[in-house]
């Protein structure tokens, strides 16, 4: 009788351990995807800040753009990078999230006073190049991100 109990206990232990192992692996994968999104949001935010400092160093109307080196996918998913703005059009943050999984996201703040070019405020990861830009037009400083 004790052999049956031990065998049953071992079988239950094997199945329960697999369940917990898969649970831990899924949590680690989700955390890694979120960290990669945070790196991308920080990279885009820092690039826009650097472009702003260069544009702000002159008093003339100027436009600067930089090609971004972004990965094609994160955790085998397409992701979206978006410049979020408030109701008045001022840029607030860079928001990166997995397409179809909006619960996995990351945010990086932008410098205050930047306006968002509403035509180019969101880009989806793909094979095409991504360009971030900043420009001054008639006293306002605009930022954008677009795929080319």
Q: Specify the DSSP element, H or E, that contains 74.
A: none
Q: How do residues 120-137 score in pLDDT, each as one tens digit?
A: 999 998 778 899 999 998
Residue with tokens 């109701």: 87
Structural domain of 69? 2-147
Q: How do residues 90-103 score in pLDDT, each as one tens digit?
A: 999 999 999 988 78
Number of domains in the chain: 1
Quote the pLDDT of residue 68. 94
Confidence tier at 106 by pLDDT (50, 70, 90): very high
Q: Taking residues 9-15, report their average pLDDT.
A: 80
Q: How far, in Å, CA of 103 to CA of 94, rounded?
A: 16
Cβ contact 82:121 at 8 Å: yes
Q: Are strands 140-147 and 115-116 parallel, antiparallel or unpaired?
A: parallel
Q: How do residues 52-87 score in pLDDT, each as one tens digit?
A: 999 988 888 899 999 999 998 898 889 999 999 999
């Amino acid at each position: 009788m004790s052999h049956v109990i031990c065998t049953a206990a071992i079988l239950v232990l094997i199945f329960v351990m697999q369940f917990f192992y898969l649970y831990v692996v899924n949590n680690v994968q989700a955390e890694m995807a979120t960290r990669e999104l945070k790196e991308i949001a920080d990279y885009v935010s820092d690039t826009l800040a650097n472009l702003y400092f260069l544009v702000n160093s002159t008093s003339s109307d100027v436009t600067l753009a930089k090609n971004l080196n972004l990965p094609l996918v994160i955790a085998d998913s397409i992701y979206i990078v978006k410049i979020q703005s408030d109701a008045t059009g001022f840029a607030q943050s860079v928001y990166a999230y997995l397409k179809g999984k909006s619960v996995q996201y990351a945010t990086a703040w932008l410098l205050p006073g930047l306006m968002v070019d509403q035509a180019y405020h969101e880009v989806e990861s793909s094979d095409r190049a991504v360009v971030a830009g900043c420009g001054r037009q008639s006293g306002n400083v605009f930022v954008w991100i677009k795929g080319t």
